[in-house]
Amino acid sequence: MLLLVGLGNPGPKYERNRHNIGFMAVDEIVRRHSFAAWRGRFQALTAEGHFGGEKVMAMKPTTFMNESGRAVGEAARFFKLAPEDVVVLHDELDLAFGKVRIKQGGGHAGHNGLRSIDAHFGNNFTRIRLGIGHPGDKTRVHGHVLSDFAKAEEADLSTLIDAIGNAAPMLANPDQHNAFMTKVALAIKPPPEKKPSKGAEENDDGI
């Protein structure tokens, strides 16, 4: 079984915050792949579905961000999950907006949600790091993560969330994690179309 965790803060006040991009991504995965309805369980909202033959539980902790690990730890103990069975989607200050990276294990880099999961479950889970950019000054970080995405970013945000929803089944297989990252990156920034060579154009005209 795969536990797919989106990080964010509960409630409409925080719904479109940069800090809630993990919630946004998991919401789209649940919608796109026709998971069952959300229900309260493990101090979280959970929704069950499948990627191929793999059972998946999507999770959005209903505690605030800094207590996210309570829900993850409780579910992991109940289902006897190993770290490789847990994938966490979260905002990442150290990546430019729109960038996506996958990381196995490591430190929390000051992210309170990851810090809490480390404390309640350990740190060797898979992280899907969703770039939100850095405001450039440490004193502005708190306001930055708790601010909504700008209107100018909405189209790119929608493309990113859509791409994550589309590629999500790859997260069930660790061997496909790099392919997931590549597929999302290409959806966000497709390669330029190759223009036909002059010779090819001439051949098309029958010359």
d(CA 152, CA 159): 13
- Whose structure tokens read 């945000």? 157
Of 72, 33, 44, the C-alpha closest to 172 is: 33
Confirm if 91 and 39 have CB atoms less than 8 A apart: no
- Side-chain-side CA neighbours of 40 within 13 Å: the count stands at 4
Geometric angle at alpha carbon 96, from 91 and 100, rounded to 5°: 60
Question: Which burial class, exposed, middle or buried, applies to 159 when counting CB atoms under 10 A from its CB (0-12, 13-18, 19+)?
Answer: middle
Residues labelled as active-site residues:
19
List b or e across 68-78, with b for residues whose CB sees 16 or more CB atoms inside 10 angstroms: bbbbbbbbbee
